[in-house]
Chain A
Amino acid sequence: MLHTAFHLGLTVGRTATPEAVQFWILAPLAVIAALGILVVKKAVHSALLMAWVMVTLAIFYIAQDALFLGIVQIVVYTGAVMMLFLFILMLVGVDSSESFVENLKGQRIPAIIAALGLGGLIASLVGRATVAGPAVGLTAANADGNVQGLAKLLFTQYVWAFEVVSALLITAALGAMVLAHSQKVRSPFAQRDLSIARFRKSSLGDAAGLPASGVYARHNAVDVPALLPDGSPAPTSVSQTLRARGDIISSSSFALESIEEQED
């Protein structure tokens, strides 16, 4: 009896060949991409791999007669959620990468053991569960169309859960605004304040404004400090931000002596 059921499960559970081909191509790629999330250094690469996994999953949804979910997966996840991730990544620094030296003692090995062990256990449960019966398929359920079928369920049987979830969504949006809102500790400096500050300083050296950047004859750009009349560079002529990034070119290569040498 059990053997017959097992045999039936094997035969009925089998799907059409094109789906099998698609699965065996995409599934390994998804697993590789997922593993890539674990090992790449830069967060932005992780995000791109993640987007790939999500697109793969969307294809699987559509292949399994879940057309609506497939579309939502692409629109909401790869479209909205992943964009949000990338946006935040840009906020906190695209370049932020982490080293792979584990600084928590006894974290990595037990984590691998526990995760793989749990995965193995669930996999063995899946193996035991599916032999019990054949797959029914969604042809009948999707007779009126997948979206219509889902809508019927959502607005009848699950309407209460649907409303609750919508309330949750609104609350989350409000919560995010509250969390991300930052209190201003001081009023921004207006032009008037800045000019007053300039004239009240100990020296009036930059009362008329900071020197403009660039060596006009040779390299007229914002990343080169201006040269003072004595040939030395003026540090205040370039943006502090560029200086912090280390994107400043030294102005010494544009000094007069070298020009004379070139002319000679």
Chain B
Amino acid sequence: MLIKIAAKNALSENDVTDESVYMDRRSLLTRMGFLGAGALLSTPSQAGIFDLFGGEEPEEVALAKLQYQAAAADPQTLTPENKVISHNNFYEFGTKKTQPQQMARGFVTDPWQLTVNGMVNKPLTLDYQQLHKRLPLQERIYRLRCVEAWSMVIPWVGFPLADLIRQADPTSKAKYVAFKTLYDPEQMPGQSSRFMGGGIDYPYVEGLRIDEAMNPLAFLAVGLYGKALPGQNGAPIRLIVPWKYGFKSIKSIVAIELTDKQPPTTWNILAPDEYGFYANVNPAVDHPRWSQASERRITTGGLLADNRIATLPFNGYADEVAHLYKNMDLRKHF
């Protein structure tokens, strides 16, 4: 019990990273970049010839502070907030890691509608307010392992996916849960332009088996670092399945459908030999173009700070989820 009390004292991770300081520093560096080699090199972003289009500096956006039960203290070093919100794979807002922060700036998430339907007895529709109010919010500090072999440690705020699904009361026929991202080409430039959206057929879709979805680790996040999610991180609500590669954790969800068939999933459609339906983090099964045996953990600091560490089966959550796949060949069902 004593430990838990100490944990509550340590709840203020959101104070660790002072957003305004980080934002100021970033814009300062941006301006320095322009004065110095900026004319040639543009601002910090992925190096490339399209950098010419990405020179705007992100403005500070006021995100609502959330009320939630804080997570217990975690010995892992958190990835600083400014890195969590500036390094995103969200192709709806551009395929470069830094693009979503810029392109998602005016993203309107209120009003919002999230439906839970399909093979359920009580279909639900949640509006923006209900995303924050319907279920009590809690904080979860999870490792996020990208299929590209980098990882972060992020304090999310949200509620267990199972709690929401239970409210909809699935029928006995429901075997899978299908998720869908908002389709709004006017707001999401990646959806209106093949060049910006990386050749994906939108809307982005994902899916879980129902026992995966009901696992207590599966989480719907509405915030991170104590505040509502920024657009680039999947506002206003996104999935987090920490034992699977990041692309399973679908962003900006508008529909959750209970179904009896394995639903299609976006990356699996695009490249079935590279991305499977399950996509459990597995150091023993390489991606065809890179090893998955280890990963670079993105933490505080520059070039020398990101340490390569061994990747763990199920991203280190084997105790909680390995039983879900007991009799499965995970080399085949990658």
Q: Do A and B bind each other?
A: no
